Chain A
Amino acid sequence: MNNLPPRTLFEKIWDKHVVQDEMDCPSVLYIDLHLVHEVTSPQAFQGLREKGLIVRQVGRTVATADHSVPTTDRSLPITDSMAANQLRQLEINCREFGIPHFGIGNPHQGIVHVIGPELGLTQPGMTIVCGDSHTATHGALGALAFGIGTTEVEHVLATQCLLQRKSKTFEVRVDGQLRSGVTSKDIILALIAKIGVGGGVGSIFEFTGSAIRALSMEARMTICNMSIEGGARAGLIAPDEITFEYLHGRPFVPKNAAWDESVKLWRQLPGDVGATYDTQVILDANKLEPMITYGTNPGMGIPITGSIPTLESLEDDSSRRALARALEYMNLSPGKRLLGHPVDVVFIGSCTNSRISDLRAAAGILKGRKVNPKVRVMVVPGSEQVKRQAKQEGLPELFRAAGCEWREPGCSMCIAMNGDELRPGQYCVSTSNRNFEGRQGIGGRTFLASPLTAAATAIEGCISDVRTLL
């Protein structure tokens, strides 16, 4: 039929979206879907205004309010005037430029990377961008999705195109079977611990292997979400029956005959036999344990029963300095175990782990148990839709009965822009994706882990191995 050399999933999507390729210039890449939120867009809209430009494709653009929204009673006015102004600005910009906007109170409002897939806006083979590095999440459905800066947000608003250079391909193969208590969050934390936070720079991950194929759609999103924490701009998983089943019937996917036609095209997306990658890493799912981070970047992770590395175990001066600095910030000692370390807060939420399956997983552990009274436990659903579904299943009551706070949807304590934040020195086990200094509040100390580990920690009041509660 054709004589093209075998191509990877990434190469197929890339080739299909190149609008123009000129010598010595980056490719002009067409963008199928542009997701917009309040934090990285105001200056881009201002740029359009100053240049007298309009939004080229409002039907390929959608905006939601997530980073700055309060997760407390939404009927009250927003007390932070800057946050309120930013949210108002998004509303004004969307109205002026004709973009659909899911603001506070809209039934589709939620974290941008949660609502894309759940509404079926995210589809296999698409190119998707957002002024947000966790756009990689959408790659779980076989879409080429990556974060861009505000200047590029303006480019895409004005032209629906982006100037891009082709990234290298990086296969992450995970074979075997996850053991009980080990989740997709642990796969991605183990990968980043292995290759480091710069390991994937310049590349796009493609996750393959039997352990990946066995994961649910939402568990795959957790993996792709944190591709950026491994340095890769995007993470991809080839679409399969699990993908199609997940998407079928969602509001924005094609219907009836058009659906069948789409699925036929989507089936051609997975990489060809013989396609090769520039780099490859292999993980054995059978050997993975629940993971947790101890430091101030997501690559500083260990199995939950493991110990913090000692300075002597590291190869170069620069890593030793980095470890020493991180442990000073975290007030932890090298060589020590984390199990049993007391925590002040447990945060279950963020675009990594705030979907219904994440809440169900945490609820499964918390059911009939009480959280330790010394710990504040916040459960923040990723979207209004997740919240509705959780309500139908009685999860808010279950969380409250266990002693957790059940809150309104948004980014919340993942980024601490909305008033949900740690106090200086507090320790938090968080299901989010970044443990950077101050990420969850000035002086706050973050341990990244799965919703299962978070729930177990909430009950015990200290870092715990969920497998003892299963």
Chain B
Amino acid sequence: MEPVNSFTSRVVPLPNENIDTDIIIPARFLKITDKANMEQYCFHDWRFDSAGKPRLDFILNQTRAKGAKILLVGKNFGTGSSREHAPWTLMAFGFRAIISLSFADIFRSNALKNGLLPVELPASTCSELFELAEKNPAMELTVDLASQSVKLPNGRSVEFPIDNFSKKCLLEGVDQLGYILKQEKHIQAFEQAHPVTVPTSQLQ
């Protein structure tokens, strides 16, 4: 994973609340067995009509979305399924941070493991950002992980929460699996005290 630190980018505002993972990537695209070429699936059914033509009135098809790294959305983003294809496709599209009032639990966890920052901001800041982005499509924000803050155009900084462990992993670009693997001694001790009763392999 690439280390995450600080970046400045335009913002794509999408005020819908409860955007679910079927919107982010429709289930019919989950038949892939790798992570290649995932840009095309991102918000597919909102981006393209039934003939596959881009819907020009959808913000992700507009110039302001080109190269943008920040998606600003309504509350409870990523509700629904556990598909990690959701953060994969958002990142393939170019996003590095999602700003919302709140995130669904599994989506947040999946995003953090891929270097996609779930930036949770208070309601007042979210509405302010929607207004600013509406007025000025070229508005840029700076997201800084080290200081856990988003810098607004007026110079004001707003902090967002992130647990120390995830933050450290993201800043250093390390996979959390390494941490679990280092617990080998404890895992072995636990397994000795808790043996399998009936192994799944008993029945084939």
Given contacts A19-B186, A252-B198, A417-B30, contact A201 B104 (CB under 8 A): yes
With A161-B180, A438-B22, A442-B45 in contact, is A322–B196 under 8 Å at CB?
A: no
* Residue of B27, B33, B81, B105 touching A85 (CB-CB under 8 A): B33
| Partner-contacting stretch, out of B2-10, B72-80, B91-99 | B72-80
Chain B interface size, under 10 / 10 to 19 / 20 to 34 / 35 or more: 35 or more
Distance in Å: Cβ of A158 to nearest Cβ of chain B = 6
A349 in contact (CB, < 8 A): no
Of chain A, the residue at the smallest CB distance from B22 is: A436
Q: A436 contacts B176, CB within 8 Å?
A: no
> B109 near A: Cβ within 8 Å?
yes
A40 / chain B contacts, CB cutoff of 8 Å: 82-84
Stretch at the interface among A52-60, A178-186, A458-466: A52-60
Bound Cα distance A62, B165 (Å): 31
A342 to B4, CA, bound (A): 52
Q: Which residues of A contact B63 (CB under 8 A)?
A: none
Judging by beta carbons under 8 Å apart, are B187 and A161 in contact?
yes
Check A100 for interface membership: any CB of B closer than 8 A: yes
Give Cα A322–Cα B26 distance, bound, in whole angstroms: 19
B186 contact set on A, CB distance < 8 A: 19-20, 28
Contact B105 A198, beta carbon cutoff 8 Å: no
Contact B82 A132 (CB under 8 A): yes
The answer to whether A24 and B164 touch across the interface, beta carbons within 8 angstroms, is: yes
Cβ B179 vs Cβ A165 within 8 A: no
Q: Give chain A residues whose Cβ lies under 8 Å from the Cβ of B191.
A: 30, 57, 160
Tell me if A201 and B76 are in contact (CB < 8 A).
Answer: yes
| Bound complex: CA A386 to CA B16 (Å) | 40
Question: B198 — nearest CB in chain A belongs to which residue?
Answer: A252
Q: Check if A148 sits within 8 Å of B26, measured CB to CB.
A: no
Bound state CA distance, A43 and B50, in angstroms?
A: 29
Flag whether A364 is at the interface (Cβ < 8 A): no
> Considering the chains assembled together, what is the distance between the CA atoms of A151 and B176 in angstroms?
9
A42 at the interface (CB under 8 A from B): yes
By the criterion CB–CB under 8 Å, are B180 and A151 in contact?
A: no
Max chain A Cβ within 10 angstroms of own Cβ: one of B109, B110, B113, B202 = B109
A-side contacts of B31, CB under 8 Å = 39, 68, 80, 82-83, 85-86, 417
Contacts of B204 in A (CB 8 A): 100
Residue of B nearest to A87 (CB): B31
Query: Which residues of chain B come closer than 8 Å to A325, judged between CB atoms?
Result: 16
**Does B163 count as interface, using CB distance less than 8 angstroms?**
yes
Residue A149 CB within 8 A of the other chain: yes
Name A41's closest neighbour in chain B (CB-CB): B33
A6 beta carbon closer than 8 Å to chain B = no
Q: Which residues of B contact A154 (CB under 8 A)?
A: 177
- B194 close to A (CB within 8 Å): yes
CB pair A61 B200 closer than 8 Å? yes
Interface hits, B174-194 → A, CB 8 Å? 176-177, 179-181, 183, 186-187, 190-191, 194
Known: A43-B33, A198-B79, A437-B22. A59 touches B201 (CB 8 A): yes
Q: Which of A43, A133, A198 contacts B106 (CB 8 A)?
A: A133
With known contacts A86-B31, A159-B177, A161-B187, A197–B76 Cβ distance under 8 A? yes
Report the bound CA distance from A43 to B176 in whole Å.
16
Which secondary structure dominates chain B's binding surface?
A: loop
Query: What is the interface size of chain A, counting residues whose CB is below 8 A from a CB of the partner?
Result: 84
B20: Cβ under 8 A from any A Cβ: yes
Shortest B178–chain A CB gap in Å is 10
Q: Are A322 and B16 in contact (CB under 8 A)?
A: yes
What is the CB-to-nearest-CB distance from B87 to chain A, in angstroms, rounded to a whole number? 8
Q: In the complex, which residues 254-293 of chain A have their Cβ closer than 8 Å to any Cβ of chain B?
A: 254, 258, 262
Chain A residue numbers with a CB within 8 Å of B20 are 297, 434, 436
Q: Judge if A202 is at the interface, Cβ distance under 8 Å.
A: yes
CA gap between A197 and B80 in the complex, in Å? 9
Query: With contacts A30-B194, A149-B82, A417-B28 known, is A251 near B203, CB below 8 A?
Result: yes
Q: What is the distance, in angstroms, from A416's C-beta to the closest C-beta of chain B?
A: 6
Cβ–Cβ < 8 Å partners of A20 in chain B: 183, 186
Identify the closest chain B residue to A424 (Cβ): B50
> Which residue of chain A has the shortest Cβ distance to B107 in the bound complex?
A149
Q: Are A19 and B109 in contact (CB under 8 A)?
A: no
Please give, as numbers and ranges, the residues of chain A lying within 8 Å of B34 by CB-CB distance.
42-43, 46
What residues of chain A lie closer than 8 Å to B148, measured between beta carbons? none
Residues of B within 8 A of A100 (CB): 200-201, 203-204
- B33 to chain A: closest residue by CB: A42
The answer to whether residues A86 and B105 also contact, given A20-B183, A416-B28, A436-B23 and a CB cut-off of 8 A, is no
Nearest A residue to B111, CB-CB: A149
Q: Is A30 a contact partner of B190 (Cβ separation < 8 A)?
A: yes
Q: Is the CB of B177 within 8 A of A155?
A: yes
Q: Once the chains bind, are A198 and B76 in contact (CB under 8 Å)?
A: yes
Q: What is the chain B residue whose CB lies nearest that of A262?
A: B197
Contacts of A43 in B (CB 8 A): 33-35, 84
- For the complex, is A26 an interface residue (Cβ under 8 Å from B)? yes
Residues from chain A with Cβ under 8 Å of B35 in the complex: 43
Q: A198 near B176 (CB under 8 angstroms)?
A: no
What is the CA–CA distance of A149 and B113 in the complex, to the nearest angstrom?
9
- CB-based contact B180/A439 at 8 Å: no
Residues facing B in A345-397 (CB within 8 A) are: none
A-facing residues in B38-56 (Cβ within 8 Å): 45, 50
- Indicate if the CB atoms of A82 and B83 lie closer than 8 Å: no
**Closest residue of A by beta carbon distance from B27:** A415
User: Which residues on the A side are within 8 Å of B23 (C-beta)?
Assistant: 436-438
Compute how far the CA of A70 lies from the CA of B24 in the bound complex, rounded to whole angstroms.
25
The yes or no answer to B199 lying at the interface (CB within 8 A) is yes
Write the chain A residue with the least CB distance to B82: A147
Evaluate contact between A201 and B110: CB separation under 8 angstroms. Answer: no
**Can you name 14 A-B residue pairings with CB atoms under 8 Å?**
A24-B165, A28-B180, A46-B34, A68-B31, A86-B31, A119-B203, A121-B200, A147-B81, A149-B84, A155-B177, A158-B177, A201-B76, A228-B106, A416-B28
Other A-B pairs beyond A121-B200, A155-B177, A417-B31, 8, CB < 8 Å: A20-B183, A25-B165, A133-B106, A198-B79, A228-B80, A322-B18, A434-B22, A436-B80
Which 4 residue pairs of A and B lie closest in terms of their CB atoms, listed nearest first? Answer: A59-B199, A198-B76, A42-B33, A149-B110
